[in-house]
Amino acid sequence: MASLEEEINNAGGALALLRQGRSGAYPFPIRPEFTNWRDEQEAWRNSAALMDLSHHMTDLVLQGPDTYKLLESIGANSFEGFGPDSAKQLIAVRPDGYMIGDCILFCVGDHDVRIVGRPPALNWVEFHAATGGWDVTVRRDECTVNNPKGRDLFRLQLQGPYAAAVFEKVNGGPMPDIPFFHMGRFKVGPHEVRALNHRMSGFPGYEFTGPYADFEAVRDRILEAGAEYGLRQIGGRAYASVATESGWIANTLPATYTGEDMKAFRDWMPARSFEGNLALAGSHVSERIEDYYTTPWDLGYGHIVNFDHDFIGREGLEQIKDQPHRRKAWVLWNRDDVAGIFASMYEQGNDRFKYLEMPAAFYTACQFDRVEKSGELVGAAMLTVYSSNVRGWISLGTIDPSAAVGDEVEIVWGEPDGGSPNPAVERHTQTRIRGTVMSRPFPNKH
């Protein structure tokens, strides 16, 4: 079987491979809308929202005496206190400190961890488990589209200002006190589930799991209990905007495509892996793939980087930690300029602008759109959505220190030279959208 390294070489380099457009934006594999995506978006801020996360993420099950040691050798964040019924975000970097990916570790038992998230971080863990001589076993519970046997667990998330009331109702009494990023158990009718306390949408709630055979019964019980609170199921269209609103840059490019110190990983990875199929697009076009790599500081993870242990990339992070870094920030689009994009659809000829899909306007798996201030590049818009909560278009991405909150910037929207060879990208003309840098898309209301 061909390796990722061979695939890169056959394509003429990593950028040539990534710009072939093999994959577009990944559709969320559930019903697009249960009601309508506008009301579904507003539910996680105004009432309660039930999200089905059972299908789109792979779980990597890691077990054995060396489980914690292996994860600690990879994670750039501290593992102090990690153990059964706790959770942790794993920050994985390559030797020079650039991001491979992040994921969530669910410690479901002693030396028994389910790793959940995008494939790059999971693949990195599996590579080291397979090649590093660790006393561990690894099993993949693949996402639904690649899993003919079916999932082990369902994963649901209930968030919003009325989530606590719904939980208490289905539990038949007060909920257990579950500390942030820890797990506990409660009842949904006769079914016991394990819950993680975290806040994907920025509001109180839990992510909870149980045997997949219980999925429909648990879901229906929650929907029945939440009806009086305005609970809505969240479809795939609305869910695509959750990451942008909550501040998770979900479509980073893993820094695995270059460097001799990463060659063993590329030789181990198959050509038709996530990394081999990934597509790169957007208005930011560089001849250096390293210009698309990010650091933990760029993504808002700098505060959890911890040098209290040895890990892959520690020396690299120590060398760059005091350098200027980009930061995670939002840009609010100018409404008149947005209206101009839609108006261009009614013009004859080739002067139409790149189409804005609603609510999520990203059209590739890994998108970088130029953010400029006074004509100079100051950042990348990576996730652009229309938010019914904001009543406007917002982008989440990485911004230089020179672009402060409140500064006016421009987003370059559309591909250069009329569009790329990617058949998912129509012929169009680039345009510029005025925007304002924000620290948050909106203040918390509750």
Q: What is the number of domains present in the chain?
A: 1
> What pLDDT score was predicted for residue 200?
52
Measured CA to CA, the distance from residue 194 to residue 33 in angstroms comes to 27
> What pLDDT score was predicted for residue 351?
84
- Residue 93 domain flag: no
- Residue 272 domain flag: no
**Residue ranges with strand state E in 32-85:** 48-52, 58-63
> What pLDDT score was predicted for residue 423?
79
Q: Which stretches of the chain score pLDDT less than 70?
A: 23-27, 199-204, 443-446
- Residue 337 domain flag: no
**What is the torsion angle, in degrees rounded to the nearest 10, for the CA atoms of residue 318, residue 321, residue 326 and residue 329?**
100
> What pLDDT score was predicted for residue 214?
97
- Residue 228 domain flag: yes
Tell which residue, 20, 96, 25, has the closest CA to residue 290.
96
Task: Show contacts of 413-419: CB within 8 Å, 24+ apart.
Answer: 413/283, 413/341, 413/353, 413/354, 413/369, 414/283, 414/353, 414/354, 415/281, 415/282, 415/283, 415/354, 416/283, 416/285, 418/350, 419/354
- Residue 417 domain flag: no
CATH number, domain with residue 218: 3.30.1360.120
- Residue 78 domain flag: no
10 Å CB burial of residue 348 (0-12, 13-18, 19+) is exposed
> What pLDDT score was predicted for residue 424?
80
pLDDT tens track for 74-89: 999 999 999 999 999 9
Peptide bond into 29 cis (omega under 30): no
With the C-alpha atoms ordered 272, 274, 279, 284, is the resulting torsion angle positive or negative?
negative
> What pLDDT score was predicted for residue 61?
97
- Residue 321 domain flag: no
> What pLDDT score was predicted for residue 337?
98
> What pLDDT score was predicted for residue 183?
94
10 Å CB burial of residue 275 (0-12, 13-18, 19+) is buried
> What pLDDT score was predicted for residue 265?
98
The alpha carbon of 104 is separated from its chain's Cα centroid by a whole number of angstroms, namely 11
> What pLDDT score was predicted for residue 24?
65
Scanning the structure block, which residue is given the tokens 């652009």?
Answer: 384
Range of the structural domain that residue 208 is part of:
37-56+151-239
